[in-house]
Amino acid sequence: MTRPRSLSPAARSILFLLAEAGSGWSYGYDLCRKAGVKSGTLYPLLIRLEEQQHLEAQWLPAEPGRPPRHVYRLTATGHRLASENPPLVPASPAPVERPA
């Protein structure tokens, strides 16, 4: 029996950003920038989520001065996964008490 793995903070952030986009498409570069993750983390994550059918991807044709671009959006199961795994909010540090 395999044990389900918990999602990484990066995965949770990406799912949240894609869920915010609703049914719209998102560019990988925008996801990197907004989530604050490096492309070496993002693209393998997107590939895994697509293989698990949590998101779909497609290539957009080249525009003048731009190469073709890959875009991503969540599937119905991806939206469910995103709602079940909200982004982790870093705990704010406890206030430092200073002696009077």
pLDDT of residue 97: 60
**Tens-place pLDDT, residues 32-64:** 999 999 999 999 999 999 999 999 999 999 989
What's the fold here for domain 9-84?
Answer: Arc Repressor Mutant, subunit A (1.10.10)
pLDDT of residue 91: 44
Separation of CA 81 from chain center: 11
Per-residue pLDDT, averaged over 60-77, amounts to 93
Per domain, the residue ranges of the chain are: 9-84
Of all residues in the chain, the percent with pLDDT exceeding 90 is 72
Query: For residue 31, which of 100, 94, 87, 96 has the smallest C-alpha distance?
Result: 87
Record the pTM: 0.79
pLDDT of residue 88: 79
